[in-house]
Amino acid sequence: MNLFSNTVNTTDREIDETGAWLSIGDLMSGLLMIFALLLVVTILQLKESEDQRIVIIQALTETLEANKLNVEVDKRTGDISILDSVLFDNDSAAMKPQGTQFLKQFMPLYTKVLLTSEGMAKQISYIVVEGHTSSAGSSIYNMNLSIQRANEVFNTIQNLKYPNRSRLMNKLLVAGRGEAEANKEVNDSSDRKVVFRIQFSNEQLWARFKTLVKGE
């Protein structure tokens, strides 16, 4: 009787353990399927977002080049660089009248490309106005000057009238970069500039994609 009882208990335990392993296997398979689906969805979103990003940068480049504005367009990122001499006098953070006039021409074109279409506007998380200086002078002075100039541009475009102004202001951030990206060996005048830098929403998707891949 005891032998039979032990045999029954052993068999039941084996069945229970087998069932438990099957349940864990099913769970793991389900989790892997969910992970694969999330990965596919993220990749498709990245592809669509990247295509729209390319369209935005091309439209921005063509529009500004057609209007012959004194800017440099980074055709890879969509960053717009404006030399400080266009906006400010040397070592000054006060906007020149010519600088205000330039922004009156630039801002309607810029916002028309980026923010008129709802689809395009959704692709842009933020637009950062960055002040940059050359490596001449102390790093503290350069940082303060770059922040002051970025703030001056922000205040100027806030007070101008152009299409999609309120939508732009909701996305606008200000940053001072000082001499962080300047040539440290040479006092290069092209390092002194204000940059309109776009942060696209697909950059956040890339971050999510990397998190998925790493399993974090």
In angstroms and rounded to an integer, the radius of gyration of the C-alpha atoms of the chain is 28
pLDDT, residue 128, reads 97
According to DSSP H, which parts of the chain are helical? 2-66, 84-87, 97-115, 118-122, 139-159, 165-171, 202-214
3-state secondary structure of 89: coil
Below-70 pLDDT ranges, the chain: 1-22, 24-32, 34-51, 202-216
3-state secondary structure of 160: coil
Give the tokens for residue 56.
């935005």
pLDDT, residue 213, reads 44
83 secondary structure, DSSP code: E
The pTM of this model reads 0.72
pLDDT, residue 144, reads 97
Give the tokens for residue 52.
């729209």
The model's pLDDT over 3-13, given as tens digits with 9 standing for 90+, comes to 444 544 555 55
Helix axes 2-66, 97-115, angle to 10 degrees: 130
CA 176 to CA 79: how far, in whole Å? 15
pLDDT, residue 212, reads 39
Nearest to 104 by CA among 58, 148, 159, 61: 159
Q: C-alpha distances in angstroms, 66 versus 69, 70, 109, 159?
A: 8, 11, 11, 26
**Residue environment code for 194-204, b if the CB has 16+ CB neighbours within 10 A, otherwise e:** bbbbbbbbbee
190 secondary structure, DSSP code: G
pLDDT, residue 26, reads 66
